[in-house]
Every structure is written in C-alpha cells, then in structure tokens.
Chains A and B, each alone.
Chain A
Amino acid sequence: MKGRTAIAGLGITEMGKVYGRTVTDFAAEAIALALDDAGLEKSDLDGLLINANHSPEMAPMLQMSLGLEDLALISAMSAYGSSAGTMLQYAAQAITTGQASAVACVYADAPLSEGGSASYAYSGRGIGSDTGFASLRFAYGDYGPANTSYALACRRHMHLYGTTHDQLGTIAVGQREWAQMNPKAQMHGKPMTLADYHDSRWVVEPLHLFDCCLVSNGAVAVIVTSAERARELTQPPVYLLGFGQAAPGDNQRAEREPAVHTGAKRSGELALRMAGVALEDIDVLELYDCYTYTVLVTLEDYGFCAKGEGGAFVEDGKLGPGGSLPTNTGGGQLSSFYMWGFTPLSEGVIQARGQGGERQVPKHDLVLVSGNGGTLNWHSTTILGGGTG
C-alpha cells in the first residue's frame, strides 16, 4: 500500500475568531477549497470521512448538507486528536482495494462565539452526564479536564526527569517564530520571547497560557486519491507512505505510566517500518501539540532522544526556524490554529509540496505527522512523501 495513494487537494478556511458561521459551512468551504486545489469537481468525490468532535454537525448527515451523492465510503470517525491519521489510513486502504477513488477527509469546528469564553467551550461540561461518577470531579473543581490532565502528566515528567519551564518555553517560542512566517496563523504578527512565555499566566500549573494550544473556528479538508490519478492533477502529489496507530490503554493502573510513555513509540515504529525509512531520514516534523509537553514527550517516544532527555534535546532551539529538526513549521496548534490532527496534517502537506514560502524547509522529501488523542491515550503517525516521492 506504501505510496499507492496521495493527498491531491488541501483546503484551509479562515481561522480563529470567525463568527456567525456554522460548522457545516466551514466544512463545505474547506472541501470546496480542497477540490479547487486538486482540480476536481464535487461529483468526483465518492468518499467522505468526517472527523467527529464536539459538534453534532460532524456526523454522517453532513453528506446531505454538502449535497454529495452516490458515495462509496462514508463515516464519522473518532479517535480524538489521532483521527486525522486514522482517517487517512482508512481512505488509503479503501482506495488501494478499489472501494473508493476520491475521498474527502474533513475537520471543522466553531467552539468560539462572540462574547463567549473559549475556556467554556473546552471546560468539559457535557462530557458524560452531570450525575454519578461524572459529577464527582466537579466537586473536586476538576474543570477543563484536558488542561488538568496534561498538567498532571507534565508535572510527572518534570518530577522524574527535571524538565524545566525554560525547556518547554523553547518549544513555544520556536513555534511562535514559525508562525510569523505563516499568514494563516492566528499568532502571525504577534512575536513572543521566552520572557513573554514565563510572564504568561498560569492556566493549570505547571502549564502557562503559552503552553496551551489555541481554540479556533474554521475547517481543513484534504482529498485522497490514487497516486496515479494524483499525478495527473493540479498539485504535486503528497504520497501516503506509512501509517501507524497505537493505543496503550488505561491511565488509572499503577503498573503503567501512560503520561510519560505514550503510544508515539509504537505508532511511530509501525509507520516508519511501512514506509521503509528510518527516523534519521525524516526532514520535517509536524507533531500534535495541544500542549508544549505533548511535543516533548512525543519526540522522546519516537526516539529522537532518550526517555527523559526531551528537555535537554529541545533546549538549543533545534525545532525552530534555522534549527536542525524543523518542527511544527506553520506554528502548530500553539501558534497557528487548532483543528485537532488536521493542523499538523495541513502543514505537512504544504511542506511536502514545497509550498511553504518563507517558512519552507529546503529538504522536504519525508514529513512525519503525528496525532494524539485524549490525554496521550490514542496515537497515530503518518509519513508523507514529498519532493520526488
């Protein structure tokens, strides 16, 4: 299956505080942009994969709103932040086996409303019911479950390995530098120093505000088709070379330490093996970065450095512009926009094509894209082939 399918189209809408539009409207625009980008028509699509999220609109009924007809592949898929990789894998398998020929994969969301609070949108109300065990955590003041659980994971890593805020801050600053070269980034035109990082308020200590990703309204879509067909279309094909998923399991059992040892290890090994490449061959990294800590622990688990040495590894700024390991080159979720796994994926496509403009990494034959869902619970890895493939 390696290299037999490719991403032929990419659509990214306006991002951030864009109000007054439905999730469906954002999704439709992203798909329209991706079709235009590929040089395809709506009628060419025979597959639709929807990244299920908080929005009830991200469900199979989206097909009807979009007016897509005679589909051979339809699903709303969810492994949270790892879904982008799992969707691409399913699309590629369907195309390789002849079940579908052109599949749109889409993420859309509109959690922000004018005058509303971004934190409320992700406060965790509505996860489960407000009775029974689900109501217990509110008595503990455990709101915003993602912030809290990543803070707990980060604190654990700091305790075990001495990871510092200077080191986490280096990740945030590097990505903000990348964002200054990305006109689509919400933090474009808003540079940040390490001192700014330290000065940013605590959200849930040890997480500063600038350790945490943005919240965005918008949508991203990609069109997956056969490699053969992609070569006849408008854009340089971005080949799908390798996939891997890993879901290690329970957070609440003492014999495991999933906050510190994540599925990135296994999913990375699977994807690299399928692509037939080594970690050292990767030119560009687009890592899921809901928090700075996620980047650090993912680098360790992929094996770029030993477990516990992530802090020292990133400290020299090697992830930022001009560094030896260009990572999250559009600014990532921390500084560009938060479209779950479609943030790293979209920038991966741009880099693999060589269309990054000012921020383009010179060598872009192999791009590794990671996905991460829950609190480091579900992981996906996708290897994209650009250049000559």
Chain B
Amino acid sequence: MKMPLVTETPAKPVPIPDEESRPFFDGARQGVLLLRRCRACDVFMSPTGGIGTPLRPRCVSCFSADLEWAPAGGKGTLYSFALMHQLYDPAFADELPYNIAVVQLDEGVRMTTNVVACANEDLWIGMPLVVTFERLSEEIAIPRFRPRCR
C-alpha cells in the first residue's frame, strides 16, 4: 500500500535569469561574483540601481556608457543585517528568523544577500565576510557570504 504524501515542503524561489542578468548568473554558477565596472574610470558598481530596476545604463560616477562585467574579489564586511521573523513564503518556514544582510564589498559596492555558516547571534557589523556560492539547481547558483578570518 502506498503511503499518502502528508507533508510537502514548498520549494524556495530559484532566480530566473533574463537576458541582461544572464552573465551575472553564469558567473555565479562558475563561482565568480560579477559586478559592473566602468572602462572609462574603473569605478565598480552594483548591476542595478535598486529593486525592480534594469541594468545600469551608465557609470554612476563619470556617466560613461562604456561598462563591462568584471569579477569582484568576493571579500567584504557586514554593513548591516536584519532578522526576518515574518513569514511571507512557506518555503522559509523552517528557517525563521533568518538573516538578510548588506555586505560592503572591498570594491566599494554594497549588496543585499544572506550570511551563512554563522548563527544569528554571532553576526556583528563590521565582521569580515567572503562570498560563497550556493547551488539551487543545475543552472542556478547564488552568491551568499560566510565569515572569514581577517
């Protein structure tokens, strides 16, 4: 007799690359954190201007349109963090409260992510972090950060 399936953990959202974000996700799958860099003035910047906005068309500093994907070193420090207690997505039910972190990369760019391999109570602003890639599917890996020695 077949056992009825009584519990089912819903799957966590897996990012779906589109044309403009594909290089970023290709990099992540290969273990490389890609940022945008200006060929004219060498400034690094986050790929987008914020939530829900497309790829930056121009350099945030000199306004050149000559931007490229460039690897970041993957090191940074914890700029701030918050602990999510509210359940928006049942897939995260077992992890509450989980952290949302802003990491300040050595390239001078801040990015929102999670810190892994660190209990919530051990998080501290300024802690040294290094990128690590978590594979969510065959196609997709995402950058998260873990503590590192100074």
The chain A residues found within 8 Å of chain B, CB to CB, are 119-120, 123-124, 127-145, 147-148, 151-153, 155-156, 159, 201-207, 250-255, 259
Contact = CB atoms under 8 A, between A and B. Distances in A.
Interface stretch (B1-9, B49-57, B65-73): B49-57
13 contacts: A119-B86, A132-B20, A138-B13, A139-B12, A139-B15, A141-B12, A141-B100, A202-B85, A251-B110, A252-B50, A254-B104, A254-B105, A255-B108
A107 to B, nearest CB: 22
Contacts of B18: 129, 131-132
Contacts of A259: 80
A155 B51 contact: no
A366 B52 CA distance: 39
Contacts of B109: 252-254
Interface centre among A123, A130, A134 (most CB of B within 10 A): A134
Contacts of B24: 133
Contacts of A251: 50, 110
Contacts of B16: 130-132, 135
A252 B95 contact: no
A150 to B, nearest CB: 9
- List the 3 closest A-B pairs by CB distance, nearest first: A128-B52, A143-B88, A151-B82
A132 B18 CA distance: 5
A83 B39 CA distance: 37
Contact of A128 (B51, B86, B112, B113): B51
B100 A142 contact: yes
Interface of B: 12-18, 20-21, 24, 45-53, 55, 60, 79-86, 88-89, 92, 95, 97-98, 100, 102, 104-105, 108-114, 125, 136, 142, 144
The listed residue with most B CB atoms (<10 A of its CB), out of A131, A159, A201, A253, is A253
B56 to A, nearest CB: 10
A156 B79 contact: yes
A138 B140 CA distance: 14
B97 A202 contact: yes
A252 B125 contact: no
B53 A253 contact: no
A152 B83 contact: no
Nearest to B108: A254
Nearest to B92: A141
A202 B83 contact: yes
Contacts of A201: 85
Contact of A119 (B14, B88, B142): B88
Contacts, number: 136
Nearest to B124: A159
B86 A155 contact: no
Contact of B89 (A130, A143, A203, A207): A143
Given A141-B114, A147-B86, A133 B48 contact: yes
Nearest to A204: B82
A204 B85 contact: yes
Contacts of A140: 100, 112-114, 142, 144
A140 B45 CA distance: 20
Given A119-B88, A148-B82, A202-B97, A132 B111 contact: no
Nearest to A134: B52
Nearest to A202: B85
B111 to A, nearest CB: 7
B103 to A, nearest CB: 11
B110 A253 contact: yes
Contacts of A123: 88
Contacts of B48: 133
A138 B89 CA distance: 9
A202 B104 CA distance: 25
Contacts of A137: 51, 112
B69 to A, nearest CB: 13
Given A128-B53, A145-B51, A205-B97, A135 B13 contact: yes
A147 B86 CA distance: 10
A137 B109 CA distance: 17
A202 B88 CA distance: 14
Nearest to A208: B85
A148 B80 CA distance: 11
A141 B14 CA distance: 11
Contacts of B142: 136, 139-140
A255 to B, nearest CB: 7
B72 to A, nearest CB: 13
B30 to A, nearest CB: 17
Interface-centre pick from A120, A153, A159, A201 (highest chain B CB count, 10 A): A159
